[in-house]
Structure 1
């Protein structure tokens, strides 16, 4: 993502960017970077870049959506978006984000599909250095090559696949409105007049997860944004449906592989 035309109400920026095919416009370098501190809640309409894009946040957490999949981006877990792939996103006010754009001719160890990337301290420093346009050519070349060598998928992907069927739509809508919704699989079965097994099969078919695992991922994704915004762990636990901070912390670690403290902005 990058800066774009701003529309909408004063309290929310809605940004529109062009849709480019992979390689449609020339890139000035193999890797080009930029950053921005967003002052208001900001939503990017679906767009696509001519370059591969790597997104991460030195401060704050944000979401990026590609089709029915939504990834959470933090300071330690970025997102690789291949060139030409349509994507949108949302960032809460106060998020400081960075992007690195990779020329499509560059050889990358990452797949041609979106993937979460481990933002190690060394990789972060190299990409920040490449944001400068004043590097001597040989220095830039060496820095770019090292950065490419360090790109690797993250083991801590926080990804939620949105279910699409009419059967599961009420469940997804309820959790979107209130991630702390306490209805169980049995409760939903009774409300929707279907068996628990039917709901379970539908969740696995559409998201690859059971209802419980999908719910935990959804809550963790919402909690990550609240953590990065500075809300207390106790308040977040209550808001996303856990009886205590310790229960929330255990569920968050089980789902993401990270502690709440590792996601909270420095």
Structure 2
């Protein structure tokens, strides 16, 4: 499958003067696409109309979906990727229009109201007074979400073999006890290491890897049952429940969108 790599500049926060309050951009990517590390002079809200994309900052990787967006503060170096067919959207917030809702990247729930407001701003025929009123509403409803598809990738010598194996094959059936035996340590040692490096238990971390991988497969049009099997769930219903807890959508609804 063709993969396209794009390069964008690294720009400091506020280094470019904005002649806008909120400016949108959208694109449907025809191929799997990777963006090299870059940064924007403006705050950015990433979200998708359809499909899945990923934004990476250091060892943290967020998956962006139609219901979970990502707030990227101005000047934050990040890389990204999107699966072929993804319709991604970005809203840039001009310098001085908003103090960042967070100094670090944070998930934002793309509620029906926020989606309607952002779509309204995309109307080139929108009168200036209506645009200004809509921008005020966007700034008012924009807030961090308690849910996020965030994966902290552990890098220690102890956890690296586990991270590499599970990310390579999210359906890897090995348990915490299996890994402890293979690495010659106690399950408690691995548990402490995962909590220290990722803020998650081993089980929650594996579930996050599986959810991110499942999003990409569903975006490619895979059948829900096939995705469930591929990412290590014994049944489509168990996979569906886990996927909905993480993304806010059932696999079927996400696939349809």
Structure 2 unaligned residues grouped into runs of 5+: none
TM-score between the two structures when normalised by the length of structure 2:
0.94
Q: Contact between 1:108 and 1:148, CA under 8 Å: does it hold in 2?
A: no
Q: Contact between 1:45 and 1:88, CA under 8 Å: does it hold in 2?
A: yes
Matching residue of 1:123:
114
Q: Contact between 2:30 and 2:84, CA under 8 Å: does it hold in 1?
A: yes
| Distance in structure 2 (CA, Å) of the matches to 1:263 and 1:67 | 28
| Distance in structure 2 (CA, Å) of the matches to 1:141 and 1:69 | 35
Shift of 1:147: 1.0
C-alpha distance after superposition, 1:120-176 (max 9, x if no partner): 222222222323555433222111111111112223311111111011000010012
**Number of residue equivalences:** 257
RMSD, aligned α-carbons: 1.7
Shift of 1:214: 0.6
Q: Contact between 1:109 and 1:152, CA under 8 Å: does it hold in 2?
A: no
Q: Contact between 1:189 and 1:199, CA under 8 Å: does it hold in 2?
A: yes
Matching residue of 1:264:
255
Q: Does 1:246 align with 2:237?
A: yes
Q: Does 1:71 align with 2:98?
A: no
User: Which segment is superposed worse, 121-130 or 228-237?
Assistant: 121-130
Q: Contact between 1:78 and 1:119, CA under 8 Å: does it hold in 2?
A: yes
Structure 1 unaligned residues grouped into runs of 5+: 1-9
Report 1:77-116 matches (<5 A): 77-108=68-99, 110-116=101-107
| Distance in structure 2 (CA, Å) of the matches to 1:116 and 1:229 | 23
C-alpha distance after superposition, 1:75-134 (max 9, x if no partner): 111111000001111101000011100012012572222111111222222222323555
| Distance in structure 1 (CA, Å) of the matches to 2:134 and 2:245 | 36
Q: Contact between 1:156 and 1:258, CA under 8 Å: does it hold in 2?
A: no
Shift of 1:261: 3.2
| Distance in structure 1 (CA, Å) of the matches to 2:246 and 2:130 | 40
Shift of 1:252: 2.2
TM-score between the two structures when normalised by the length of structure 1:
0.91
C-alpha distance after superposition, 1:197-254 (max 9, x if no partner): 1111100000011111111111111112222322111100111011111121222234
Matching residue within 48, 60, 78 for 1:57: 48
